[in-house]
Amino acid sequence: MAGILELLTQDAFGLLSSAFGLQPWGIYFGGVPVIIADNIVEVQYRQQWSISDFSVEQGAFQSYDKVQIPYDARLRFTAGGSAANRAAMLASIAAVAGDTNLYDVVTPEAVYLSCNITHYDYSRRSNEGMGLLSVDIWLIEVRQAVSAAMSNTQDPSGASQVNGGTVQTAPASSAQLEQFKTSSGLPAGGF
Higher pLDDT, 70 or 20: 70
Q: What was the pLDDT predicted at 21?
A: 47
For 42-97, the pLDDT digits (tens) are: 999 999 999 877 777 777 778 878 889 999 999 999 998 889 999 999 999 999 99
Task: Note whether 20 and 33 are within 8 A (CB).
Answer: no
72-79, strands of its sheet edge to edge: 32-33, 26-29, 103-106, 111-123, 133-141, 72-79, 39-46
Higher pLDDT, 164 or 10: 164
Residue 17: is its pLDDT beyond 50?
no
Q: What was the pLDDT predicted at 124?
A: 79
For 107-159, the pLDDT digits (tens) are: 999 999 999 999 999 987 777 677 889 999 999 999 988 776 666 666 766 66
Q: What was the pLDDT predicted at 152?
A: 67
Q: What was the pLDDT predicted at 159?
A: 67
| 174 — pLDDT class (breaks 50, 70, 90) | confident
Higher pLDDT, 19 or 74: 74
List Cα–Cα distances, 184 to 96, 114, 171, 181, in angstroms: 61, 55, 19, 5
Task: Note whether 66 and 49 are within 8 A (CB).
Answer: yes
Question: Does domain 24-55+62-141 sit in CATH 2.40.30.200?
Answer: yes
Separation between Cα atoms, residue 139 and residue 119, nearest integer Å: 7
Q: What was the pLDDT predicted at 123?
A: 82
Residue 20: is its pLDDT beyond 50?
no
Question: What number is the average pLDDT over the span 148-176?
Answer: 71
Q: What was the pLDDT predicted at 29?
A: 94
